[in-house]
Structure 1
């Protein structure tokens, strides 16, 4: 082998290793719609070695190591957009974003106004159609941003959402909310945590400025992943059966008082086209197993702050959340790649 070819191979190996080892991180406010500014977090691969810091950590939850405002050195990186659950935030899937960035992905996550930990405005929460639009807005910004667009592969874009974020991701795939179906299903099987939250989320009655068209599909998004989504029975069956966007449906097998996954993720899997969807249940996972890892003593700490919140840090017997995350990430990576 000629020395020059050997050098190229060695340099490629070094660069790829650097991308896999370091994660850049930035946050900013997207102000293109002044009535709904979005706080956005971005993770990305970088060759910059330091200074490293920890983000997304607090007394209860484990954070991840990143380099803030690092250089963005990739070309044609696949893009992943994340949507957090009801009353969650970017921190909930920080673990997943960091792992994806180490694999060469550029990952972006907005905090959805009205349904985030730091903004529980009832008026914003009731605008159910805004969540998918938030993701589309972030994507449009990234693809047109002179600082970042050179690094992105506009033909390789995915959306991943947990809980209500999974509901959001499926709408981006073309699945449509249907209020009549939602009411019928809640009359058949009522659950306080799902049907009971419908009014707060604007799903029971027509809302001011609600769009006439029910489709919020973003054709730029080529595949979607739902992580133990909720409110699936509010989707129209017709829209599910005709959706062609590939979907990975991951569900938690342990019931924590919501509807059993068979009536949420399973319901979705039942109606999506078999040839474009994949469906898996983690028998030892709870709804919150998809969120960030918890520190020792987190259950007691959360219970002291708000009785009942300790469940956020409980997983199935005999398995750690770290091991569950390893399995979940492996399945997501298989689907994306």
Structure 2
């Protein structure tokens, strides 16, 4: 893999020049917005118990619980997890962004997360994800207790897999639900195909022009997008893709979507599988879910995430016109 050393240098400079850690406020009062907000905080990180947000064997995140927010006019980034994931699945990316001066918000998508998969195969999940993201964005901008620190004109997005699909929609893409037809053979009894066969097609999902730039990793549901269906996207994008795919994502389809996007955004490749974009696994996590933690021989997920996170910070900083920390 071609290494982007200047990104690694930028990452090192940012880390070396900042004493801040990620403050964390847990969103656990409203089950429809279950997640967390990360932000700059001038304190040392420590394990933060998740309480009612505990997911099976995951019961803490690193950060400083309810630390006062450091800074003002801070950019905001929404992070969207993949199918069956959870709000902390990209915790290292959220921490990197918070350390670089961003506010970061993520939630568990209803019916499509590690604790509840009841809607993962539903057609309505395709529209519910963008709608729930907009609800989260509305909450952070209008109801979050520290909303005054956010620069409402500097909003970015990072999404993985179904979360990357969500980013395409929010940015202006229009999925073609009729493209589902070839997958819904008589033997396919999935919830989505049952809905499709009885004509229970959801309305077009919503967009959100408040999002000004996005980084998308291994976009899912690529078959739903033709170049014409992607033409409405007018914001800067950075695309990451895995070399070998997995998790229902075919690398060839990701390439096709990326090549069909307006502006021909930069595409970067990680020499690993789909799940390499998830945060590096703890020993306990790897023992419980080895398929999410197994990478090719010689591949260092921790080292890759230093590069990935540095690229996300740099891209969003540049395209949201954010002054670099000195």
Question: TM (normalized to structure 2)?
Answer: 0.80
CA deviation after TM superposition for structure 1 residue 21, in Å: 2.4
Alignment of 1:261 onto 2:254: no
Could you tell me whether the CA contact under 8 Å between 2:160 and 2:277 is conserved in 1?
yes
Alignment of 1:249 onto 2:239: yes
For 1:289, which of 260, 272, 276 is the aligned residue? 276
1:256-279 superposed Cα distances (whole Å, 9 cap, x missing partner): 47453121x21211110135x221
- The worse-fitting range, judged by mean Cα deviation, of 152-161 and 116-125 is 116-125
User: Structure 1 residues 106 and 155, CA, compared in 2 at 3 Å: closer, same or farther?
Assistant: same
5+ residue gaps, structure 1: 1-15, 303-308
Looking at structure 2, the residues matched to 297 and 68 of structure 1 have their Cα atoms a distance apart, in angstroms, of 23
Structure possessing the higher radius of gyration over alpha carbons: 1
User: Structure 1 residues 88 and 257, CA, compared in 2 at 3 Å: closer, same or farther?
Assistant: closer
The count of residues paired between Structure 1 and Structure 2 equals 298
Alignment of 1:91 onto 2:71: no
Looking at structure 2, the residues matched to 139 and 27 of structure 1 have their Cα atoms a distance apart, in angstroms, of 15
CA deviation after TM superposition for structure 1 residue 241, in Å: 2.9
Of structures 1 and 2, the one with the larger relative CO (CA 8 A, separation 6+) is: 2
CA deviation after TM superposition for structure 1 residue 205, in Å: 6.1
- The worse-fitting range, judged by mean Cα deviation, of 51-60 and 117-126 is 51-60
User: Structure 1 residues 142 and 325, CA, compared in 2 at 3 Å: closer, same or farther?
Assistant: same
Looking at structure 1, the residues matched to 239 and 195 of structure 2 have their Cα atoms a distance apart, in angstroms, of 25
Could you tell me whether the CA contact under 8 Å between 1:23 and 1:102 is conserved in 2?
yes
Question: TM (normalized to structure 1)?
Answer: 0.77
- In the other structure, the counterpart of 1:199 is 192
- In the other structure, the counterpart of 1:153 is 151
- In the other structure, the counterpart of 2:138 is 140
- In the other structure, the counterpart of 1:26 is 25
- In the other structure, the counterpart of 2:70 is 73
- In the other structure, the counterpart of 2:227 is 237
User: Structure 1 residues 334 and 204, CA, compared in 2 at 3 Å: closer, same or farther?
Assistant: farther
Could you tell me whether the CA contact under 8 Å between 2:123 and 2:195 is conserved in 1?
yes
5+ residue gaps, structure 2: 1-14, 318-326
Could you tell me whether the CA contact under 8 Å between 1:63 and 1:95 is conserved in 2?
no
Looking at structure 1, the residues matched to 194 and 36 of structure 2 have their Cα atoms a distance apart, in angstroms, of 24
In the TM superposition, what are the counterparts of 1:1-337 in structure 2 within 5 Å?
A: 20-29=19-28, 31=30, 37-47=32-42, 49=43, 52-54=46-48, 64-122=61-119, 125-127=122-124, 128-145=126-143, 147-183=145-181, 186=183, 199=192, 206-207=199-200, 210-211=202-203, 214-256=204-246, 258-263=248-253, 265-275=254-264, 277-283=265-271, 285-296=272-283, 299=286, 301-302=287-288, 309-337=289-317
- The worse-fitting range, judged by mean Cα deviation, of 95-104 and 214-223 is 214-223
User: Structure 1 residues 255 and 85, CA, compared in 2 at 3 Å: closer, same or farther?
Assistant: closer
Secondary structure of the structure 1 residue equivalent to 2:154: strand
Could you tell me whether the CA contact under 8 Å between 2:41 and 2:70 is conserved in 1?
yes
CA deviation after TM superposition for structure 1 residue 142, in Å: 1.4
1:115-141 superposed Cα distances (whole Å, 9 cap, x missing partner): 011122239954221111111111111
User: Structure 1 residues 151 and 108, CA, compared in 2 at 3 Å: closer, same or farther?
Assistant: same
